[in-house]
Chain A
Amino acid sequence: MTMTRKFGLGCALLGAIGFATAADAAEQITFVSQGGAYQQAQTVAILDPTAKKLGITINQDSIPDAWPAIKTQVGSGKPIWDVVDTPTGNCLRGGEQGLIEKLDFSKIPNGAAMPEAYRSPYSVSYEFYSSVLSYSQKTFPKDAPNSWADFWDVKKFPGRRALRNHPFATLEAALMADGVAPDKLYPLDVDRAFKKLEEIKPHITVWWTSGAQSAQLLNDGEVDMEMAWNGRVSAVAKEGAKVSFTYNQGILQSTSLCILKGAPNLATAVKFLNEAVDPVHQANLPLHIDYGPGNPKAFETNVIKPERAAQLPSEPANAAKQALMSYAWWSSPAGEAAEKRWASFMQK
Chain B
Amino acid sequence: MLVLVSPALLVILALIVLPVGWLAWQSIYHDGFTLENYRRVFTEDIYWRSFALTFEISLAVTVIALLLGYPVAYLANSVPKGWSILILSLVVLPFWTSVLVRAYAWLALLQRTGVINQFLRYLDVISEPLALVHNTFGTVVATVHILLPFMVLPLYATMQKIPGDLMQAGASLGASPSLTFLRVFLPLSLPGVLAGCTMVFVLCLGFYITPELLGGGRTVMVSMLVSRNVELYNQFGAASAVAVVLLLSVLAIFFIVSRFISLDRVLGQK
Contacts and interface: CB of A to CB of B under 8 A. Distances in A.
Interface of A: 67-68, 71, 160, 165, 205-209, 213, 216, 220-222, 339-340, 343-344, 346-347
21 contacts: A71-B234, A205-B131, A205-B134, A205-B216, A206-B134, A206-B216, A206-B217, A207-B216, A216-B107, A220-B111, A221-B113, A222-B112, A343-B46, A343-B228, A343-B232, A344-B44, A346-B218, A346-B220, A347-B46, A347-B49, A347-B220
A132 B127 CA distance: 32
4 pairs of A and B residues whose beta carbons are closest in the complex = A207-B217, A165-B217, A206-B134, A206-B216
A347 B50 contact: yes
B234 A220 contact: no
Interface in B23-67: 44-46, 49-50
A208 B223 CA distance: 17
Contacts of B45: 344
Contacts of A339: 232
A273 to B, nearest CB: 25
A68 B134 contact: no
Contacts of A208: 217
Contacts of B112: 160, 221-222
Interface in B200-234: 212-213, 216-218, 220, 228, 230, 232, 234
Contacts of A222: 111-113
A98 to B, nearest CB: 14
A162 to B, nearest CB: 9
Contacts of A344: 44-46
A207 B218 contact: yes
A220 B228 contact: no
Interface residues of B, number: 21
B31 to A, nearest CB: 12
A71 B235 CA distance: 10
A67 B220 CA distance: 23
Contacts of A207: 216-218
Nearest to A216: B107
A14 to B, nearest CB: 39
A206 to B, nearest CB: 5
Contacts of B230: 68
A216 B213 CA distance: 11
Contacts of A347: 46, 49-50, 218, 220
A160 B131 CA distance: 11
A346 B234 contact: no
Interface string B81-120: 0000000000000000000000000010001110000000
A219 to B, nearest CB: 10
B118 to A, nearest CB: 11
Nearest to A345: B46
Contacts of B46: 343-344, 347
Contacts of B232: 339-340, 343
B121 to A, nearest CB: 13
B156 to A, nearest CB: 37
B113 A209 contact: no
A67 B113 contact: no
Contacts of B213: 213
B115 to A, nearest CB: 12
Contacts of B50: 347
A207 B50 CA distance: 17
Nearest to A165: B217
Nearest to B217: A207
Nearest to A163: B217
Nearest to B131: A205
A340 B229 CA distance: 9
B49 to A, nearest CB: 5
Given A343-B46, A347-B46, A347-B49, A220 B113 contact: yes
A209 B134 CA distance: 12
Contacts of B217: 165, 206-209, 346
**A160, A207, A347 — most chain B CB neighbours (10 Å):** A347
Given A165-B217, A221-B112, 19 more contacts: A68-B230, A160-B112, A205-B131, A205-B134, A205-B216, A206-B134, A206-B217, A208-B217, A216-B107, A220-B111, A221-B113, A222-B113, A339-B232, A340-B232, A343-B220, A344-B44, A344-B46, A346-B220, A347-B46
Contacts of A221: 112-113
A193 to B, nearest CB: 18
A222 B135 CA distance: 14
Nearest to A343: B46
A165 B217 CA distance: 6
B22 to A, nearest CB: 14
